Structure 1
Amino acid sequence: MTSTTTSRRSALWAPDRRFVTLALFLLVTLAAFEGMSLGTALPTIVADLHGESMYSWPFVAFLAASVVGTVLSGRISDRWGPVPALVVGPLLFLAGLVIAGVAQTMVVLLVGRVLQGVGSGAQVVALYVMIAQVYPERDRPAAFGVLSAAWVIPSLVGPTVAGLLTQHLSWRWVFLSLAPLVAVGVLMLTPVLRQLGIRRDSSGGDERWWLLPLAAVGAAAGLASLTWAAQHPSLGSAGVAAVALAVLVPALRHLLPAGTLVGRPGLPMTILSRGLIAGVFFSVEAYVPLTLSSVHGFSPAMAGLPLTLGSLGWSAASMWQARREGDPQVRIRNGFLLVAVAAVGIVVIAPDWGPPWAVVPLWLVAGAGMGLAMPSISVRTISLSADGEQGANSAALQVCDMLGSACLIGLGGALIGALASTAHPTAAVIPFDLLMAGVALLGAVLVSRK
């Protein structure tokens, strides 16, 4: 076991892969830091730019643009390899950081967020494809473990650093301080990008290729509308959600492998499992700080602490699985089971008589479940994908992730609006967490099928 662990670790840091691994870590860390920091700086940003009525749109614009970047990057990577998207994606992200950092109006800020979303979506899919091309199959779990580990530092210090920058310098440095480091990441990738080159596609492509960007835009619009409707519960927003679903479902038929939405065993179920486990984890997590602050009187800083602990559990489990051989399908199932246990356990902190300290071990367990499942889902997806489909299937993973999170977080918001309130959320949090535990158990059963 020791020799296997040593060889797998050294494969990441071998001379011909050292800069690739560092660049993977740096680019994902920067994107994660930006994502973790925005929430802290946003109240100051909207006040400074007089955009209070558009508070949610920096999130929505990024999410919608990410769908487009993800889908187009998948198609480009399958036809010409990951190099074009790995050049254009980080550069768009960098441009978005600069534009957002110098914005004088909310409209300009949103333009920057759109560029960041397209760039981030394009980048992550191309990184998946590059991992498949650069790292041997047995070393891919470790490479995907690096992607998970890249979220640890932003989770720990991102909100705090963003708060300090906003308070003592300017919110603009939340964006501008990252731009030079993105350029460094691109430069570190340059040698391997030259080595990979641009693949010449002589297949002629799909005659209906033009449907893909339309489907991407439709999915982006549908997902953005669902997110908006979830954040503004009312009878009118229910109509918006219905229209969004009418647009989203046909779009997904062109963006996901056949059988994904019904959980067909194999690749479709693997991709669906990403949406299910991400949706359960992030939707339960979204209402943990609300429960701790509204029910138990925690300060905002203390209410957000379990989210950091979850990130630590995620990273630890991800690094553990990266250093040991194992069946990805079994690890995905075990990840679902751990998240289900945590979701059931979180129910005990929802009443005012419940022990709030229980959230600490429970959310460490939930994070560990994600650390087991998420890299394993990526590894299994790549291994089940043909050479010309790795980009499209990696894009499908990201689309499922965003869709599952948006829908289930929205469901939680709808339950709070119907059964409780943000001041007294217990009556909604208990049935919602139990429902999410049921979804996780269903995912464990479905993913176990051969």
Structure 2
Amino acid sequence: MTEQLTTPMPESSSRKLGLEMTVAALARLLLNTSRRFAYPFAPALARGLGVPLVSITSLIALNQLTGVLSPLFGPVSDRWGYRTMMLLGLGLMSIGMLTGGFVPFYLTILIALFLAGLGKNIFDPALQAYIGERVPYERRGTVVGLIEMSWAGATLVGIPMVGLLIEHFSWRAPFLVMGGLGLVSIAMLGALFSGGTRRSEQGAGAITFGQAWRQLSCSSAAVGMLAFAFLTSLANDNLFVVYGAWLEDSFALGVAALGTATTVIGVAELSGEVLTASLADRVGLRRGVTVGLFLSALGYLLLPIIAQSLPLALAGLFLVFVIFEFTFVTAISLVTEVLPEARATMMASYIAVAGVGRVVGALIGGPLWVWGGLTAIGVVSAAIVLIAFVVFWRSVRL
């Protein structure tokens, strides 16, 4: 990774970029909501379709598998252009949602959720690569942080709106509304976003699959950031999959109270994204990630010690998730500059590897909880983050 030289953007270009990023953030909020709403409303979907709950959870699991397909589309984005792939991602989500709303059968809902997940995993790397292409490096942390607020926004705004639609209309209403809004997003994004990337304008846009993957595998910084994504996601989901059981066992929380705890995590995610937007560029992206990793390890270790009452437990969870979100989102800003000639390939691989890390974390979290409780969870997560710290420190020089 080399130092990037940037020049101030003209005021008109800056305004246009700001409008583009606003539209992109709203489109991403829609995609995130379409990806996440099935989790809390699985019982409503099961009742509406007349199928067992396990049938809906199987759909959710299939939706998660779309993340594994993300790297296949990275080189396509680098070859065809980021705008094209963002429109494709929104188009797939819109087709899926409208199909699910108008043709309410189990198979079509399966297709709808699969296309929503696939659309998000095509859209996100293309958008992040577009940001890396268009936004000066010294402003990238701010822009990425603002865009990433749409993830927490899905929990805090999107999913509650879905709940209102289901309550006042029917379980099909969210599919129709999100599909319609997807079409509006396609029209706005298509009208506002630039047609090509700087590389394609320079005649270098036709990067092949082989070239993209060779660049990634030969870059120590790229491999290091993929290891970082895997390890930090593993450590976080190791805790995430058992925090409900921990709160229930330790403080006798019921379902409603556990829902409040989930809101705490949603606010923590938003707070971490706000911190990235407001602080990352000022403190420096590499320094921000380094400090975040150190504080994450400390947070995992201290959580079992300080959580002696429910308020302290919720405060501890809040801080752990704020630090994780700040660290992970700030790292995304760095990743956009790791492979300038294959940005979408790098971003797609980063997202996919992080997803694999979450799966592994979920798999080991349960057995660790049974074996050693929250203390075992905290120690293992802290150790994994310290390994990520070493990998990051040795591989990233920017």
- Is 1:373–2:318 an aligned residue pair? no
TM-score between the two structures when normalised by the length of structure 1: 0.76
Partner secondary structure for residue 128 of structure 2: helix
Instruction: Specify the code of the residue in structure 2 equivalent to 1:402.
Output: G
Distance (Å, rounded) in 2 between the aligned partners of 1:298 and 1:65: 34
- Quote the residue 2:394 is aligned against: 449
Partner secondary structure for residue 54 of structure 1: helix
Superposition deviation, residue 393 in structure 1: 0.4
Distance 1:90 1:202, change over 3 A: closer
Instruction: Specify the code of the residue in structure 2 equivalent to 1:285.
Output: F
- Is 1:334–2:291 an aligned residue pair? yes
- Quote the residue 2:3 is aligned against: none
Instruction: Specify the code of the residue in structure 2 equivalent to 1:267.
Output: A
Structure with more relative contact order (C-alpha pairs < 8 Å, separation 6 or more): 2
Residues 89 and 122, structure 2, Cα contact 8 Å, conserved in 1:
yes
- Is 1:60–2:61 an aligned residue pair? yes
Gaps of 5+ in 1: 1-7, 213-253, 421-426
Partner secondary structure for residue 40 of structure 1: coil
- For 1:79-158, what aligned pairs fall within 5 Å after superposition? 79-158=79-158
Distance 1:447 1:114, change over 3 A: same
- For 1:15-414, what aligned pairs fall within 5 Å after superposition? 15-52=15-52, 53-68=54-69, 70-196=70-196, 199=200, 205-206=208-209, 257-258=216-217, 266-323=221-278, 324-348=281-305, 354-387=308-341, 389-414=342-367
Distance 1:168 1:342, change over 3 A: farther
Residues 232 and 388, structure 2, Cα contact 8 Å, conserved in 1:
yes
Distance (Å, rounded) in 1 between the aligned partners of 2:134 and 2:207: 26
List per-residue Cα deviations over 1:67-89 (Å, max 9, x = no partner): 32x22331111112212211211
Distance (Å, rounded) in 2 between the aligned partners of 1:319 and 1:97: 30
TM-score between the two structures when normalised by the length of structure 2: 0.85
Distance (Å, rounded) in 1 between the aligned partners of 2:215 and 2:360: 17
Distance (Å, rounded) in 2 between the aligned partners of 1:276 and 1:21: 29
Superposition deviation, residue 394 in structure 1: 0.6
| 4+ residue segments displaced more than 4 Å | 8-13, 200-204
Q: Percent identity?
A: 16
Distance (Å, rounded) in 1 between the aligned partners of 2:41 and 2:49: 12
Distance (Å, rounded) in 2 between the aligned partners of 1:363 and 1:13: 41
Q: CA RMSD in A?
A: 3.1
Superposition deviation, residue 348 in structure 1: 4.5
Superposition deviation, residue 255 in structure 1: 10
Gaps of 5+ in 2: 1-7
Q: How many residues align?
A: 383
Distance 1:306 1:297, change over 3 A: same
Distance 1:435 1:403, change over 3 A: same
Instruction: Specify the code of the residue in structure 2 equivalent to 1:27.
Output: A
Distance 1:283 1:72, change over 3 A: same
List per-residue Cα deviations over 1:50-104 (Å, max 9, x = no partner): 3324232222221222332x22331111112212211211000111112233453
Distance 1:204 1:285, change over 3 A: closer
Distance (Å, rounded) in 2 between the aligned partners of 1:202 and 1:335: 35
List per-residue Cα deviations over 1:179-200 (Å, max 9, x = no partner): 2222222222223434437936
Partner secondary structure for residue 111 of structure 1: helix
Superposition deviation, residue 143 in structure 1: 1.3
Partner secondary structure for residue 151 of structure 1: helix
